[in-house]
Amino acid sequence: MNRYFIFIRIVLASCLLGSLGGEILPVFAQADELMEPSLPKEERLPTTSKTKQLQALLRQGLQYVRLGDYANAIAIYQQAAGIDQANSQLLGGMGYLLARQGRFPEAIQAYQSALSIDPNDPDFYDGLGYSYARAGNNANAITAYSSAIALEPKNVKYHLGLGVVLLREKDYPRVLRIYKQVLALDPKNAEAVVLMGSSLLQQQLWDESINFLQSAIPHFPKRNELSLQLAIAYINKGENQEAEKLLTQILRQNPNNLTAKFQLSQIQEKDGRLTEALTGYRQLVRLNPNAIAAKIGIGRILLAKENYQEAVSVYQELNRLDPDNPDILYYLGLALKKSNQTEKATTILKESRDLYQQNQNPKGIEQVDQLLAQ
């Protein structure tokens, strides 16, 4: 089967922090999207199976994989494993299926078992690196991806997988090296450009980001991710008009681009265009009911419009969704205080202060103290 890329959206999400004041929509913060491990390949099935039954099972399992029916595919592969327990491709296929189901500890074990039989298969290291990264073990993910690269140094996918994990680790010099290595192998690789743009944004190098992205976008005009990165850089530079032009352009092409819609709503809110911003935030919530930062925005605007009771309801719902979020508690306390529920407000604000203190957020502590003193 052909290898394919799952675009590195995680990189973009990790860079929104600077522009959102610490509030990132959970739907955008999928820092575990990575690039999926290599699919089981039909041409790599054993040419001489122990039995015809094994061959038939493996083909049936691959059919389920192609249909996205991973539960049935796993059941078939487990049945096949009972026939041939030393088949590395079978174990690697199990690793892939388990990873797709989010069962990363089991996927790691399956890939390790496959590698114990065939330590020279780079795809197994690729899947192992993916599974480690999804399980939050970046150090082992880096080791696994590096092993894949050592076995197949011209495989761009392995380099990009390593680059994503290095970006998580804030190892920016090595990310730069990965970017250069990928472009040396594939000068038109858009994913490498996104990776580099994300690295610059994450370092808050706004001028460098703008220069880099302005130069890159003409070469990849269909990659809205790059335009979105440029918009984020503009926002952090305070150039909201330039950012709004880009975001409007992106939304014209893809009205359901949640990140662009959220950024645009943020700009509108900051500019005092509260009705437009409120409409944008509500559209986001309709598209993604778990969009916490958009709901926080709705609550802020309700506060600004002095609709305190509705704001209380919004923040109470948010508190149920995310009980340890100090920003939500702060706004809930503010809404309660404005609606003359002083005792409840004080209790909530003290909880918010404690969480800000745990998170070592002095600005948060200061804003709570100011509100309590009023």
CA distance 181 to 195: 12
Question: What's the total number of domains in the chain?
Answer: 1
> By the 8 A CB rule, do 208 and 232 touch?
no
Does any domain span residue 94? yes
Does any domain span residue 259? no
Does any domain span residue 8? no
Does any domain span residue 325? no
Does any domain span residue 182? no
* Contacts of 109 by beta carbon, 8 Å cutoff, 6+ apart: none
**pLDDT tens, residue by residue, 48-69:** 545 677 778 878 888 888 888 8
The CATH number given to whatever domain includes residue 154 is 1.25.40.10
What does pTM read for this prediction? 0.78
For residue 26, give the DSSP letter: G
| Residue ranges making up the domain that contains 83 | 34-169
Mean pLDDT value of segment 130-140: 95
Does any domain span residue 359? no
> By the 8 A CB rule, do 11 and 164 touch?
yes
Does any domain span residue 205? no
**pLDDT tens, residue by residue, 185-242:** 999 999 999 999 999 999 999 999 999 999 999 999 989 999 999 999 999 999 999 9
> By the 8 A CB rule, do 115 and 128 touch?
yes
Does any domain span residue 281? no
Q: What confidence tier does 329 reach under pLDDT thresholds 50, 70, 90?
A: very high
Kindly tell me the burial class for residue 156, based on how many C-beta atoms sit within 10 Å of its own C-beta (0-12, 13-18, 19 or more). Answer: middle
